Amino acid sequence: EAKKHLGQHFLHDQGIISMIVHAVDPKPGDRLVEIGPGQGAITFPLLDRHGELTVIEFDRDLIFPLSEGARAHGTLEVIHRDVLTVDFTSLANESRIRLVGNLPYNLSSPILFHALDHAAAIRDMHFMLQKEVVDRMAAGPGSKVYGRLSVMLQAYCQVIALFDVPPGAFRPPPKVDSAVVRMIPHAPDKIGIDDRALFARVVRDAFGQRRKTLRNALSQICEGVSIEAAGLRPDARAEQIEVADFVRLSNWLKANGSIEP
Ligand code: SAM
C-alpha cells in the first residue's frame, strides 16, 4: 500500500528502469547514493550492475524489505532518515557521490536545494521529477517557464533533461507526467558566486514580481545603487536575464552595495 504523504509512486515499467540504469551508467569505484529507494525498483537493478549502493529511505516499513530484498543483488547500506537531514558531504569517500532518485514530488524543490548546498561533494545527479519541474529547471531566458528554479540550479549545475515518463509507468500512477533529469555540478572555481545568500536573494526578488522591471523588483536590494552601473539594462525583466548576468549583478552588489543580505 503506497503512502500518499510520502509521495510514494513505485516504478514498475522495466523499460524505464533500464533507461535510468543506462543513464546513470555506473563505473567501478563510483560512490552511488539513492534517495527514496521505496520497494527497490531502481535499487536492485543498480545493485546488479554495481554491487554496492547506499540508500536513504524515510518510511520505516520499507527498511526491512529493502535490506532483505537486496541480499540476492549485492551490498546495500540503508540509511533510515529524512533525506533533508542527511549531510551528503559525509557520504563522499575518495570519490564524490553520484545521486540517483525517483523523488517524492512534494519534496522536489527542498531536495534540489539541499543538494545544491552540498554541490561540491556531488559528481552528478539523476532524478525523476514532475515533467513540469524538469522543464522549469532546464529553461533558458525568454522561455515562459524560465524562473528562479532555472537560475538557481543552472548557476551551480549543468541541467540536462533526458526523457519523459508517462503516469502509467508507476503504481499508483501520479496525476502528472514525469521526466528524468541529469545535473552535473560545475567545478567550484567555475561557479563564481561571491556571496551565495545575496545571490539567492537577488534571484528571488528579481522573479518575485514577474511583470516588474529589474530596477523595480530589486529596488530594496539595490537601494542607493543603480543597476546600470552593474552593466544591466534597468528596464530589463528578470525573465530575459542570463544566469551569468545574475551572478555578475550579485557580485557587483556585494562589492558596491550597502545592503545587508
Ligand atoms: N525509488 C522507488 C521507485 O522508483 O519505485 C520509490 C520512489 S517514490 C516516488 C519516493 C520514495 O521516497 C518513497 O519510497 C518514499 O517513502 C521516499 N521518501 C519520501 N519522503 C522522504 C524523505 N523525506 N527522505 C527519504 N525518503 C523519502
Average pLDDT of the residues of the chain: 93
pLDDT per position as a tens digit, 83-107: 999 999 999 988 999 999 999 999 9
Q: Say yes or no to pLDDT of 215 above 90.
A: no
Q: How far is the CA of 87 from the centre of ligand 1 (A)?
A: 17
Is the ipTM reported for this complex over the cut 0.90?
yes
| Angle CA 161–167–170, to nearest 5 | 100
What is the average per-residue pLDDT within 244-251?
Answer: 92
SS3 145: coil
Given the CA of residue 8, which atom of ligand 1 is nearest to it?
8
What span, in angstroms and rounded, lies between the C-alpha atoms of 15 and 22? 10
232 C-beta closer than 6 A to ligand 1: no
CA dihedral 20, 26, 30, 33 (to 10 degrees): 20
Given the CA of residue 170, which atom of ligand 1 is nearest to it?
5
pLDDT per position as a tens digit, 20-78: 999 999 999 999 999 999 999 999 999 999 999 999 999 999 999 999 999 999 999 99
Q: Say yes or no to pLDDT of 184 above 90.
A: yes
What is the average per-residue pLDDT within 151-159?
Answer: 98
| pTM metric for this prediction | 0.94
Q: How far is the CA of 105 from the centre of ligand 1 (A)?
A: 9
What is the average per-residue pLDDT within 206-210?
Answer: 82
Partners of 184 in beta bridges: 158
